[in-house]
Structure 1
Amino acid sequence: MAIIRPRLTDYHGLYVAQHQVDFAIPFLEEDIPLYLDPFMLWRSPSQQDQMFHTGLVNAFNHLGTLAKAGRDNEAVEALIAASECDEVGLGSSAKRQGKRIGQAKAEEIISLFKRIPAYHQNGFRHFEEIQFFVEGISKDRISDIACSFLKSVLIDFTMDQCDQLGIPRSQCDVSDVYNYRENKFESLRGASLPINPVDGTPIILVPKRWLRFGPWINYEDYFEKYCPQDEISHTPEELTRVKVLNYNRDHYGVVESYIAAKERNAADCANDPLFSQLPIVSAKRKLATIKKLPTGKIGQADIQYEDAIGQLLPSLLYPHLDFAQEQARTDSGVSIRDLIFYNTRAQPFLDEIFNDYGSRQITMEMKNVAAIEREHIDQVNRYLANELGRFGVIITRNPLKRAEMTRTIDLWSGQRKAVIALTDVDIEQMVEIFDSKQRDPLDVITKKYVEFRRLCP
């Protein structure tokens, strides 16, 4: 059964919410928009994480040892192998596939061990510093290098998590796994990992506690707060990134001071969740915006309504419903926007609509109209096919009229499809519950469904 943005857990029939597991649930067809930040291991109170960071940095610094011994080609080859880690599926790729760095870029990075005295003598304390000297090194590259050197650790973590949740594992080969005894990358034969059903490749899970939207040590932060811009160029418009990188190579003390400051403020460094709820104040503002909007399309009121609902509902329904995506579709020439949620089956109501309607995902269609008409009900009816199950929600401004309510009851009687409507009043009640924290906003949807079923024969 096809679903929108399928995840590993959904494919195997495991209906768990993201907040319930210790890893970022991977998508099967695209990357997770997060990155492994090595600094999270360094600042962790866990001695095990600190040990992993030490191993990671030692492995990277071994590249410098090779270079200083005249074995530059080996160092470059190892760095190229480490520069991409498709198995973890982190980043912004739409196909879970990345591209390794080239020979010239790898040589430029390895040259830092010879060019900068501090690295020549002592190596790196945080290898993320390479982004201050080499053009084209961004957060995805830092993350991939870290994942590559930690791949054996991540494989063990993946096996443990799969066993805890019951995710099937299969025998497979994994390329470029770092051997800490031999200090080189090797292929691991007969690994036992979950397999991506889309392309047959192995999947490696990553702990949530190591993930951020960007590294704690990053070029943008350095440039804004620490870089002596006036010393590099007295003309702001001529201050290019290349000039900054060249300056850094000859003035390592500036970078060293920045790193020391980031270490002092390590307590402020926290992992980033895949989804963050709106604060209560923002939720109330979104509600106020919705209530002021006229119905219809004048002044793009329909787009403003959809945008506000699209930002509000995922926060109100979290964590019981993980947000999948906002999706646009066309029905008989009419553009329609939906909100798609993963059904985690975390509550009896969610379990009921899964069992009764086959809803692995829940679709909510947004309609900024004064009154829902029969054609709107028919649009939802056509959309509630086997792929998404037979339960749908219309988010609109006012209650259904008698004729349209009768139409939804007839759909249930004839096809066992359930269509309920959430109005401005319902959304306001959900925000009030969200504010009070006494109950769950999902209770409002549950209540609407119970009322609907009472009307059905």
Structure 2
Amino acid sequence: MRLSEYFVLNRTQAYLDFVDIPLNTDLAVFLVPNAIKSLDSSWGNELSSFLQSFFETVLRLIKNGDNHRAKRLLASLSEGNEFHLGYSVGKSRGHGFGDESADSVWDALTKSKAATSGLLQDLEDTALLIHGIGTDMISDAVCNILRRPLIKYTQDMCRYYGIPLTQNVESGPLWNPKKEVWETTFVDLPTTSYGKVILVPKVLVRTRLSYQYDEYYRYYLLPQMQSEHLRNQSSLVETLKNGSQRVTKKALMEKYGKDKLAVVEQTILKPYVLDEYRDAKVESPSSPLSHEQLSELEHIEKPDLNLLLDQLKSLPVGRETAEQYEDIIERIVSVILYPSLCNPTKQHKIHDGRKRIDITYVNEAKGGFFYWLAMHYSAPHIFVECKNYGKEVANPEIDQLSGRFSPSRGKVGMLICRSIENKELLYRRCVDTAKDERGFIIALDDADLEVLVHEYMDSANSQDFNLLRQYWKQLVD
């Protein structure tokens, strides 16, 4: 049973911001550091600082010989069942740094030349350089280190989707980056007959780690070693019939080995290769899982956007159905704009609650229209106002949305309504708002939403959004 089924949310994975976990086992996806480091938002920076703080503390203690305290910090990474991510078959159980392998992990870290030489810089490096550490262990460690911000995320998502929270649930160990200690407290969390649950954003999970030691060894280290042996004309150099020379990767692995110990030994001699590998991963971060990939992993149907369009067309106009209209819009927008926009907040309060925004999204785009937008304009968030009007929207609605903008929150929004009788006039008003430096508003109606949906489905889920680019061009030309 999935969490969405347990709490009768009437939503499948595509319409949820978090991973719709199975409650009685694990889902084979993982929370990986590289995905977190690729986030550009303030929340992403917070998550990265938590990870870096913990790992730097452990490494510093090891280098200073305070192995007892380092071991105690690692032992607190005992994996809880509340995340439900990983390889477990049957009842959820983790492979964290703090379970029965804690001693071996601590022993490997304290004895590894990678730790003592300074090669290790963050948690994901251990997958390359420390024997016995793999994807599931790192994912479990990340979940535990980020437990505090993930509990806050869980509470926000529960309020957003109407999931009941149970008060005074034991939090489990919470990392305190300032004090460099683990703490525990009581918090509000969703609970089920299977236990408490902590949710994870689907935009952050992957099916494997970004760092793979065999990839690093074969495609980064070994080519450097081949060049070195050729320059030095070592005994591994072969001369072919045509006179050319080569050093095979097979010969190098037979001489130096092909396990993580060999990787560490060669990286100590050529640390710049590891820097190149890290830089390559930063420049090309792994992509979030698509709706299709998640559907396949979870054995569920893909989202049916045509059904939502039919519901939209049949919905009566007026105040009485305004909430239903907003719900349909939110479902459509959350599907087609994922993974560019995520972490939605409904009826987001600003100015001490005096103003509300129907839906606010965090802009985490790594390509396409919203990425371009963030590179050139203030767009850390995208604001969406929904108007189930049977009349022409005009200046009051434009002023209402532009009044929500600010340099820190962002100055881009979408005004979505049922129909626009005079689109040219409305966009002249939006242009006036932009020229007055009060922000940029893209106005859309039911017909535009249908175009966006089909554009999305016909372009293999592309995030380019030609229609949005076309309307944006009207605002800034």
Look up the match of 2:147: 151
Look up the match of 2:246: none
Q: Does the residue aligned with 1:227 lie in a helix, a strand or coil?
A: helix
Look up the match of 1:137: 133
Counterpart residue type for residue 104 of structure 2 = A
Q: Does the residue aligned with 1:73 lie in a helix, a strand or coil?
A: helix
Look up the match of 1:28: 23
Counterpart residue type for residue 67 of structure 1 = I
2:277 pairs with 250, 258, 276, which one?
A: 258
Look up the match of 2:287: 270
Paired with 2:258 and 2:21, the residues of 1 have a C-alpha distance of: 37
After the TM superposition, which residues 293-442 of structure 1 pair with which residues of structure 2 at under 5 Å, given as runs? Answer: 317-320=301-304
1:186 correspondence with 2:183: yes
Q: Does the residue aligned with 2:171 lie in a helix, a strand or coil?
A: strand
Q: Does the residue aligned with 1:178 lie in a helix, a strand or coil?
A: strand
Look up the match of 2:221: 227
Counterpart residue type for residue 282 of structure 2 = E
1:106 correspondence with 2:144: no
Paired with 1:436 and 1:154, the residues of 2 have a C-alpha distance of: 30
Q: CA deviation at 1:249?
A: 5.6
> Residue 203 and residue 345 in structure 1: after superposition, are their counterparts in 2 closer, same or farther (change >3 A)?
farther
> Residue 115 and residue 178 in structure 1: after superposition, are their counterparts in 2 closer, same or farther (change >3 A)?
closer
Q: How many residues align?
A: 282
2:174 pairs with 173, 177, 182, which one?
A: 177
Counterpart residue type for residue 210 of structure 1 = L
Are 2:221 and 2:267, in contact at CA under 8 Å, matched by a contact in 1? no
Paired with 1:172 and 1:61, the residues of 2 have a C-alpha distance of: 30
Q: CA deviation at 1:196?
A: 3.0
Paired with 2:294 and 2:144, the residues of 1 have a C-alpha distance of: 32
> Residue 277 and residue 92 in structure 1: after superposition, are their counterparts in 2 closer, same or farther (change >3 A)?
closer
Counterpart residue type for residue 257 of structure 1 = E
Q: CA deviation at 1:262?
A: 1.9
Identity of aligned residues (%): 23
- Mind listing any 5+ residue stretches in structure 1 that lack a counterpart? 1-5, 279-310, 322-343, 349-433, 439-457
1:327-366 C-alpha deviation (Å, 9 max, x unpaired): xxxxxxxxxxxxxxxxx99987xxxxxxxxxxxxxxxxxx
Look up the match of 1:43: 38
Look up the match of 1:164: 160
Are 1:133 and 1:249, in contact at CA under 8 Å, matched by a contact in 2? no
Are 1:139 and 1:214, in contact at CA under 8 Å, matched by a contact in 2? yes
- RMSD over aligned CA atoms reads 3.3
Paired with 1:156 and 1:245, the residues of 2 have a C-alpha distance of: 39
> Residue 249 and residue 8 in structure 1: after superposition, are their counterparts in 2 closer, same or farther (change >3 A)?
same
TM-score by length of 1: 0.55
Are 1:216 and 1:262, in contact at CA under 8 Å, matched by a contact in 2? yes
Are 2:27 and 2:87, in contact at CA under 8 Å, matched by a contact in 1? yes
Counterpart residue type for residue 271 of structure 1 = P
> Residue 346 and residue 73 in structure 1: after superposition, are their counterparts in 2 closer, same or farther (change >3 A)?
farther
Paired with 1:104 and 1:437, the residues of 2 have a C-alpha distance of: 49
Counterpart residue type for residue 70 of structure 1 = G
Q: CA deviation at 1:318?
A: 1.4
> Residue 16 and residue 70 in structure 1: after superposition, are their counterparts in 2 closer, same or farther (change >3 A)?
same
1:244 correspondence with 2:241: no
Are 1:177 and 1:187, in contact at CA under 8 Å, matched by a contact in 2? yes
Paired with 1:435 and 1:260, the residues of 2 have a C-alpha distance of: 34
Are 2:4 and 2:12, in contact at CA under 8 Å, matched by a contact in 1? no
Moved more, 104-113 or 162-171: 104-113
Paired with 1:212 and 1:260, the residues of 2 have a C-alpha distance of: 19
1:74 correspondence with 2:93: no
Paired with 2:266 and 2:141, the residues of 1 have a C-alpha distance of: 22
> Residue 209 and residue 223 in structure 1: after superposition, are their counterparts in 2 closer, same or farther (change >3 A)?
same
- Mind listing any 5+ residue stretches in structure 2 that lack a counterpart? 227-248, 312-453, 459-477
Look up the match of 1:307: none
TM-score by length of 2: 0.53
1:391-441 C-alpha deviation (Å, 9 max, x unpaired): xxxxxxxxxxxxxxxxxxxxxxxxxxxxxxxxxxxxxxxxxxx99969xxx
Q: CA deviation at 1:127?
A: 2.1
Are 1:116 and 1:249, in contact at CA under 8 Å, matched by a contact in 2? no
Q: Does the residue aligned with 2:174 lie in a helix, a strand or coil?
A: strand
Counterpart residue type for residue 258 of structure 2 = T
Paired with 1:14 and 1:71, the residues of 2 have a C-alpha distance of: 49
